[in-house]
Chain A
Amino acid sequence: MQEDFHYYAAYCAAYLAGFDHEESLRIGYADQFCDCCTETYLGKVKGPRAAATTQSQPELASAPGDLLSIQNMTRIWASFHFLPYDLNATLPGHHSKKYMQKYRLICKPNSDQVEETVRIAKGRSLEHFGISMHVLSDTWAHTYFAGTPSLVINNATGFYDLNTDKPLVFSHNPTIPEDPEKGNYVNSPNLMDEVSIMVLGHGRAGHLPDYSFFRYKYMPAWGNYEEIVKDNPADYYLAFRQMVTALKYFHGDIDEFVRGVYDEVSVEPHRERIMAILEKRQVNACADWKAFGEELSGQTIPDFDIFAFEKEYLDAARKEDTFLGRFCAGAIAQKSMITNRIYLSGSNLAGVSVDAEGRRFQRNSN
């Protein structure tokens, strides 16, 4: 997903869940900030680099491709953008341990991990709520891809646009602007390397998973030649409803967050309006979501500014009382939880995880 959903739609969801304008702004901001908080940025503000929630393209390009950098990539991308669905998944027939470790990182919505993501944010800061909403919504957009570089999992072919009923042809030149009317789309090239960054996440599908209007089908590398049909408008709508449910849980309106439960009460009256935004063929829906949000609250939503809270952080004596400080705390908690779960499942793809309290290495005894 991109700024239109992570910032503006998250604001709308928070407002519908009962948060006021300022609180909704913070949640939306933190949600979108997950796509901006790189190690480079944290280095600039002298923040904790372990709190990085994404990697910029230059950071990815300069990664040497050894085990360390792959583990670092997996920690970040699996924790915030491609939450693993089933860390104990099995497949019929024999598969090597390495293959299964990567297969188990495939992202899908309504996992144990997303329940835990929401649970650990409860009672914490608005910034942490925003982080958990980013993670939750990305499980819907990034379904069937994994947050680790892997040719055998993340490669994808046979793209077909179900809206226009034509095969999709990608270009590898990102300077050409994407245009749904002309059918110009960009994806990463296949370098036939198992751990290339070109096969990290949904690179081979380009931006298709992030466009709410797209309906398409394709063959994922892991799918044994079966075609996956992606209906982004339907998925995004479910993501929105689930976000409202989770945010109501944070707000205290419901006692428990259970996966597979989608808010109807607050969202249903706006269904037509939301679906119209989601189904409109445009690469950027910020203006539409912004208009909707401003209608809901009657207040102006400022444009997203990555530097909005930088001065506050730099000038503060107690960093943890600032927006960035609380954001970093939430990010570290989320990353640690997911890394630990991956480690406990017997995989070293996200590196080692140490119980800070007990100061010992944990490993699944099964």
Chain B
Amino acid sequence: MSLVKKILTLITSLLMVIVAVGLVIEPEIGYYIMIFILIGVLLVKSIQSVWYYFSMARHMVGGLFYFYQAVLFVDLTLASPMLLIAPRWIVALYLNGLIAFSGVLDILRATDQKKMQWPQWKLRMVLGLSKVLFAIVAMVAMRSPEMLTRIYSFVLVYTAIMRVMSALRSENVVYYTQ
């Protein structure tokens, strides 16, 4: 990672933590900010998927699949402003659904790693199960938008920490001697 990219990563991670704290302090405003952030993330993902298709996947065997995938992502993004007028239980379902889905992916990867006898599988399985459990408990126990924004703040802080850890890894430079 270049120095500039490391600094940018640290700045965005700090902003994520500040936003997370802000969401907890002002939950009503925080609710709408959270939805806008979700829409923003979806927008970035959809642009990435479109870019990936046109720059890389269109040359590969079976690349048409990634075109259709990109269209789905773009439409998901265009449909997400619906969340602003949707009842809050739908937003909760959507957010917790995303967390649960991420947990299911972790569980599937842990299963693959277990088959390959990698030692990391236990940690990933615990992570995946806790995400799924967290999402279920949050859906059941949620009584207010405040709880929803607290959940989202927690997710933001966790993501920020992971990004900071990645940015602080040292870089190898390989020396070449003639």
- Would A and B touch once assembled, by the CB under 8 A criterion? yes
A residues in contact (CB < 8 Å) with B: 50, 57-58, 61-62, 64, 66-68, 71-72, 75, 95-96, 98-99, 151-152, 155, 157, 172-175, 189, 192, 194, 219-225, 333, 335-337, 339-340, 350-357
Q: Are A351 and B172 in contact (CB under 8 A)?
A: yes
Q: Are B59 and A222 in contact (CB under 8 A)?
A: yes
Q: Are B56 and A172 in contact (CB under 8 A)?
A: no
Chain A residues with CB under 8 A of B166: 64, 66
Expressed in whole angstroms, the Cα–Cα distance for A190 and B146 within the complex equals: 40
Least distance between A71 CB and chain B CB atoms (Å): 8
B38-75 Cβ-contact flags toward A at 8 Å (1 or 0): 00000000000000100111011111001001000000
Given A68-B171, A194-B56, A353-B176: A174 touches B1 (CB 8 Å cut-off) = no
Name A354's contact: one of B55, B56, B66, B176 (CB within 8 Å): B176
Given A98-B55, A222-B59: A336 touches B175 (CB 8 Å cut-off) = yes
Supply 29 A–B pairs (Cβ within 8 Å), ascending by A: A57-B116, A57-B118, A58-B118, A64-B166, A66-B166, A67-B1, A68-B1, A72-B172, A99-B59, A152-B56, A152-B59, A155-B61, A173-B115, A194-B52, A219-B61, A221-B62, A223-B61, A335-B174, A336-B175, A351-B172, A351-B174, A352-B174, A354-B173, A355-B175, A355-B176, A355-B177, A355-B178, A356-B176, A357-B178
Chain B residues with CB under 8 A of A223: 61
Name B120's contact: one of A58, A222, A337 (CB within 8 Å): A58
Chain A residue, CB-CB nearest to B167 = A66
Interface residues of B in 51-107 (CB under 8 A from A): 52, 55-57, 59-63, 66, 69
Is B143 close to A, CB under 8 A? no
Chain B residue, CB-CB nearest to A189 = B112
